[in-house]
Structure 1
Amino acid sequence: MDFSYPPEVEQFRKELRAWLRDHLTDDVVAAGRSRRKDDSAFDLLRAWDATVADAGWGAVSWPRQYGGRGATVLEQLAYAEETTRARTPIPLNVIGLNNIGPAIMTFGTDAQKSTHLPRMVRADDIWCQGMSEPEAGSDLASLRTRAVLDGDHFVVNGQKIWTSLGDRADWCQLYVRTDPEAPKHQGISCLIVDMALPGIEVRPLVNLNGDADFAEVFFADVRVPAASLLGPFNAGWQVATTTLSHERAGAARLYAGMRLQLADLVADLADHCVDGRRVLEDGGTLRRLGELAVQVDYLELLCKRAISAALHGGDALGSAALAKSVWADVGQAMACLAFDLLGPRQSADRWTEQRLSSRSLTIAGGTTQISKNITAVRVLGLPRR
């Protein structure tokens, strides 16, 4: 792995760092930390996303014709490192920018591209992804939501669950079964669905920490224009795999974010005492912090292996899947240590919330079991069962 940055990448980093220094405010950082709980924080972040996009920093990996910078992989890596270090909030449309937008660029019509991409990058429209179902979580190909072509409309019936920003979304990239007789990886189509259509019901799902980050979405005889088809009819699996494989240097946020969290934890423990003794003078605590620091270094190595593979035309998926599993384990271990030492101080304390929300790390974005299966096949070369 060679991650020496050429001069043009360092210039890119310098320009980004200067722009963030001049424009990123404490209020925006605080809104990002609030996990978009209330309308005021959400509106502030939406305005921030528009500011970032208008300055050309909103989707650096996108081609310039769609509002991006056409950034190279190393520029994307520098972008992830700098924005994480500056505590820049993750874009509201992060799924749209990393996954849905690139799928529209690849498979969309000219009308779909011109209508949706400029508004997506500015967060003028909020997007969600209709993938998981009660009987089809990590196994997307088992989805049952049906769409039947009726004239110039698809009629959609079914249910999606764990839909991030489902209660806020204006649009949904929806995966539906259009041929129930075909093998399960076939007969799937992808639709771009206006969430304001009649027959769509959204029910927020409240997490352990009291947030409603997800929603379940019900479709009852929803008539979606046939022109909303994204990609070929009955070839939605191809759209899905393209969507899910687009992230390249975004893995940098995994290790950079965990390194920042570890530094925050050490800072919060600096003056904390248990039974009259500073916790940072306790050997057991120092050992656990040291183990976390080593694991974060290991995570960085895995992420950079995946990025290196992307740079040199190798198989990045195996390393990325393993990195995701390690990231989830590190996040849960860090939240556990923080809670063990600091305890439930108050309902709004970030470490209390982190302890509750960390349980989702081994589920969100692909379960640990699925990630381990990918690692077994792609990294270890074990046979599929």
Structure 2
Amino acid sequence: MDFSYPTEAERFRKELRSWLAANLTDDVIDAGRNPGADPAAFDTLRRWNATMADAGWAAVSWPAAYGGRGASVLEQLVYAEETTKCRVPNPLNIIGINNIAPAIMQYGTDQQKTDLLRRMLRADDIWCQGMSEPESGSDLASLRTRAVRDGDHFVVNGQKIWTSLGHRADWCQLYVRTDPDVRKHEGISCFIVDMSLPGIEARPLVTLNGDEDFAEVFFTDVRVPADALLGPLHGGWQVATTTLSHERAAAARLYSELQVRLADLVTDLQTARVGRRPALEDPVTLHRIGELAARVKFLEVLCQRSISAILHGGDAYSTAGLAKSIWGEIGQDLAALAFDVLGPRGSAKWADFRLTARALTIAGGTTQITKNITAQRVLGLPKPR
């Protein structure tokens, strides 16, 4: 691993710090803690997203032509570090900005790019991604939602689930099966779907902590214009696996976020007690804190190794996948420590994190899937027979 911050990156850091100091407010930070449970918080974040976009800070990795800054890998790393330390909320359209937008930039028509990208960046439009189905999660190629050509439209029928912001979304990047007679990876197409079309019903899903961040979405004879196709017909798998070339240092958020959470926990434990002694004098608690600190440091090194690979032409994919698994496991153990010491009524913040942390090893690729990828692509182990 070998990289350092050049003068340009440090200048970028100084400019970002200055802008955040002048514009980031406590109400924005508070809104970012639980937007799914509070419509007012959601509106606050929507205005904040527009403020960041108008200043060019909403997606620094995007090309300037679409509202970004064309930031280098190290500038992206600086951005991830500084925004996490300052507790800048994630964009409402984080899936859109990180996953959908790169596909539109690569496969979209000029009209799609003009009409959609800047509005996505400002959160003028809310986006969701229609991938998971009741019987198709990590294995996207097993999806069953169908689209059948009918003149200048495709008629869509099926169901998606665990669709982030599906009940709030204006647009959906929807993956459907358009050819059932070929190998499953080859018969998928991707569409950009207006969520106001007749036949679409989005029902919010209440998660374990009471939030409504997800929805199940039903499509019944929905007529989608043929020109809403993103990428080639039957080429949806290629669109789904598009290299996220505009977000190359996102791994930095993994360790930065956990560093902030661990520091917050240590602060909150200063007034807690384990039995008759202060929590921060309890040997077991101190051991667990120290172990977490060491694991977070390891994760930082692993993420920086991935970023270094990008800079020097190496393989960043394998370490990035492993880092995601480790991040999820550390997050769950950190949540367990907070709950064990502070108790269910000790802190609403930590009680909520105890519940939401259960999803860390599922969302974005289950730990089992990512470990299989590591075993096969890094260690060279054979696939199970």
TM-score category (smaller protein): over 0.9
- Whether contact under 8 Å (1:104, 1:112) holds in the other structure is yes
Residue in structure 1 matched with residue 382 of structure 2 by the alignment: 383
- Whether contact under 8 Å (2:203, 2:217) holds in the other structure is yes
User: Letter of the aligned partner of 2:359 in structure 1?
Assistant: S
Shift of 1:360: 0.5
Counterpart secondary structure, 1:221: strand
- Whether contact under 8 Å (1:9, 1:75) holds in the other structure is yes
How far apart, in 2, do the equivalents of 1:47 and 1:35 lie?
A: 13
Identity of paired residues, percent?
71
Residue in structure 2 matched with residue 88 of structure 1 by the alignment: 88
Residue 194 in 1 paired to residue 209 in 2? no
- Whether contact under 8 Å (2:132, 2:143) holds in the other structure is yes
- The unaligned stretches of length 5 or more in structure 1 are none
- 1:1-385 aligned at under 5 Å gives the runs 1-242=1-242, 247-345=247-345, 349-385=348-384
Counterpart secondary structure, 2:322: helix
Shift of 1:312: 2.1
Cα deviation, 1:346-379, whole Å, max 9, x if unaligned, reads 6x71100011111111100100111001111221
Cα deviation, 1:113-144, whole Å, max 9, x if unaligned, reads 00000100100000000001111100001001
User: Letter of the aligned partner of 1:350 in structure 2?
Assistant: K
Question: In 2 relative to 1, CA 243–99 (structure 1 residues): closer, same or farther, beyond 3 Å?
Answer: farther
Question: In 2 relative to 1, CA 321–79 (structure 1 residues): closer, same or farther, beyond 3 Å?
Answer: same
- Matched residues, number: 384
User: Letter of the aligned partner of 2:132 in structure 1?
Assistant: S
Shift of 1:245: 7.2
Return structure 1 stretches of 4+ with deviation > 3 angstroms: 243-247
Shift of 1:382: 1.4
User: Letter of the aligned partner of 1:340 in structure 2?
Assistant: D
Cα deviation, 1:68-97, whole Å, max 9, x if unaligned, reads 100011000000000000000001011111
- Whether contact under 8 Å (1:93, 1:120) holds in the other structure is yes
- The unaligned stretches of length 5 or more in structure 2 are none
Counterpart secondary structure, 2:148: strand
How far apart, in 2, do the equivalents of 1:102 and 1:81 lie?
A: 22
Counterpart secondary structure, 1:163: strand
Counterpart secondary structure, 1:141: helix
How far apart, in 2, do the equivalents of 1:155 and 1:209 lie?
A: 36
- Whether contact under 8 Å (2:76, 2:250) holds in the other structure is yes
How far apart, in 1, do the equivalents of 2:247 and 2:240 lie?
A: 13
User: Letter of the aligned partner of 2:260 in structure 1?
Assistant: L
Shift of 1:246: 5.8
Shift of 1:301: 1.2
Cα deviation, 1:313-362, whole Å, max 9, x if unaligned, reads 2221110110011000000000000000000116x711000111111111
Question: In 2 relative to 1, CA 320–58 (structure 1 residues): closer, same or farther, beyond 3 Å?
Answer: same
Cα deviation, 1:7-60, whole Å, max 9, x if unaligned, reads 000000000000000000000000001234211100000000000000010110
How far apart, in 1, do the equivalents of 2:165 and 2:275 lie?
A: 43
- Whether contact under 8 Å (2:36, 2:211) holds in the other structure is no
Once the two structures are overlaid, the 10-residue window that deviates more, 27-36 or 54-63, is: 27-36
How far apart, in 2, do the equivalents of 1:76 and 1:252 lie?
A: 9
User: Letter of the aligned partner of 1:83 in structure 2?
Assistant: T
Once the two structures are overlaid, the 10-residue window that deviates more, 236-245 or 132-141, is: 236-245
Shift of 1:247: 3.7
User: Letter of the aligned partner of 2:72 in structure 1?
Assistant: T
Shift of 1:275: 2.9
- Whether contact under 8 Å (1:100, 1:243) holds in the other structure is no
How far apart, in 2, do the equivalents of 1:134 and 1:281 lie?
A: 48
Shift of 1:244: 6.1
Cα deviation, 1:280-320, whole Å, max 9, x if unaligned, reads 10111100000000110111111112212222222211101
